[in-house]
Amino acid sequence: MNCPHTAAAPADRGAGTVVIDPMVQDLDGETARLRDAGVLARIDLLGVPAWTVTRHAEARQLLLDPRLVKDIDAWGLWQSGVVTRAWPLIGMIDAGRSMFTVDGAEHRRLRTKTSQALTPRRLEAIRPEIEKFTQELLDALDAAQGDDGVVDLKAVFAQPLPMRVVGMLMGVDESQHAMLTRQYKAFFSMLTPQDERLALLAELDVFYTDLVREKTARPTDDLTSALILAEEGGEPLTEEEVVGNLKAMVAAGHETTIGLVLNAVRALLSHPDQLRMVLAGEVGWDAVIEETLRWDTPTTHLLMRFATEDITVGDEVIREGEGLVVSYRAIGRDTEQHGAGADAFDITRPTRNRHMTFGHGPHICPGAALSRVEAGIALPALFTRFPGLRLAVPDEEITKLPVMTQNDMTAFPVLLG
């Protein structure tokens, strides 16, 4: 097989390999094919082979398995030089030292302050600000309607809101938000040439390093400053570690919550009976949020973990040095976990809270509570302000961005009613 992104042809993909489509033309079809390919499926990521886990129970077990690590140096294809920085997905793995890329005791050291800053109790303090941002963006939505009344709910509402929230939390000035949104859009898009992606990542590193140096000199009341300051008697994070955590927080906090909010609006507009139940107060917004997280996960595939020894899963063996992806969208549709109707969106589903969309184990999403607070404010506020909200195009015309790991729409044109 000829692969333009890697230094040498990767191993034979084998007959049962699901080739992940960089253009994301049929996400539901691909999710179903992954499930059909087995508990542990072979996938092809732009010519690079990996395993993926497609079931809830096995993923849960693997996410607790210390024989799987996030350190890219444990990857055989990286050690041998088959995968290089020319591979378009390398930025999802080789993202610098941070809580996202380190395991064990060091991981706890890198992560503790961040997870403590994002507990439901601590988040209550910033709720009023999130409510204020939401109201401002609803005004902006009203003002942005074209002559035909159409407005893009993504560009004007769902995208700026999480950026403002994570920006406030991390101390990133509002004047930089548009730049960051543009850079991350290019980072995630498979249409961006790899040399441009590597260049923008280098630019972002300079930006974040400058920010960390500024906060080191003049600490303020934000999580970046808190990450810089040593705990009493504790070992302070290095500059590289603070930069790594900051990058991870901004990238994750910005990108994933866009998906959560938009996917929830889309699910409700295409299931009007369920929207009516929510607006009548028969079912809570928390149910909408949890069912959306299960049914249409913001993260499609999470890259990557590496086996430090052979790991047997059912009939398959992940060999030492092989890579494992977690396919959260397939896992949300697991019929063992959610029953035969797992493919249906149903906010009254008894298992709606028993999804694993935020992961499991030591790396479980530290921003889970924050995303729930954001969506829990944004969704009711949107439907309260615009009860007649509807899609401006048929649902089938909504397209996904060409992003392999995230589940994100190109645009979401609506009429505010």
Instruction: Name the residues that contact ligand STR, by CB under 6 A.
Output: 91-92, 95, 100, 247-248, 251-252, 255-256, 299, 302, 406
Least distance in angstroms from the C-beta of 152 to ligand STR? 22
- We find the least distance from the C-beta atom of residue 281 to ligand STR, in angstroms, to be 32
C-beta of 100 vs 383, nearer to ligand STR: 100
Rounded CA-CA distance 127/225 in Å is: 20
Q: Which CB sits closer to ligand STR, 182 or 390?
A: 182
Residue reference for tokens 């979401």? 412
CB closer to ligand STR out of 255 and 374: 255
Q: How far is the CB of 256 from ligand STR (least distance, A)?
A: 5
From residue 290, alpha-carbon distances to 28, 122, 274 in Å are 19, 21, 14
> What's the closest the beta carbon of residue 4 comes to ligand STR, in angstroms?
22
Nearest residue (CB) to ligand STR, 204 versus 347: 204
- Taking the C-alpha atoms of residue 83 and residue 90, their distance in angstroms, rounded to an integer, is 8
* Residue number, 113 or 382, with CB nearest to ligand STR: 113
Cβ proximity to ligand STR, 41 vs 251, nearer residue: 251
- Min dist. Cβ of residue 82 to ligand STR (A): 21
Instruction: Give the pairing of strands 18-19 and 40-45.
Output: parallel
Q: What is the dihedral of CA 12, 91, 325, 25, to 10 degrees?
A: -80
Nearest residue (CB) to ligand STR, 98 versus 274: 98
- Classify the C-alpha dihedral 220-225-226-231 as positive or negative: negative
Looking at the chain, the number of H-run helices and the number of E-run strands are: 17, 11
DSSP-derived 3-state class of residue 400: strand
Smallest gap from residue 208 Cβ to ligand STR (A): 9
Task: Provide the residue count of the chain.
Answer: 417
| Among the listed residues 375, 391, 349, 383, the one whose alpha carbon sits nearest the alpha carbon of residue 279 | 383
What is the torsion angle, in degrees rounded to the nearest 10, for the CA atoms of residue 286, residue 288, residue 292 and residue 298?
-50
Minimum distance of ligand STR from residue 254's CB (angstroms): 9
Q: Is 250 exposed, middle or buried (0-12, 13-18, 19+ CB in 10 A)?
A: buried
**In this structure, are residues 331 and 322 in contact, taking their beta carbons and an 8 Å threshold?**
no
Nearest distance in Å: CB 18, ligand STR = 20
CB nearer to ligand STR: pick between 290 and 346? 290
**Distance in angstroms (rounded) separating the CA atoms of residues 223 and 411:** 31
Contact 253, 370 (CB under 8 A): yes
Distance of alpha carbon 139 from alpha carbon 380, whole angstroms: 15
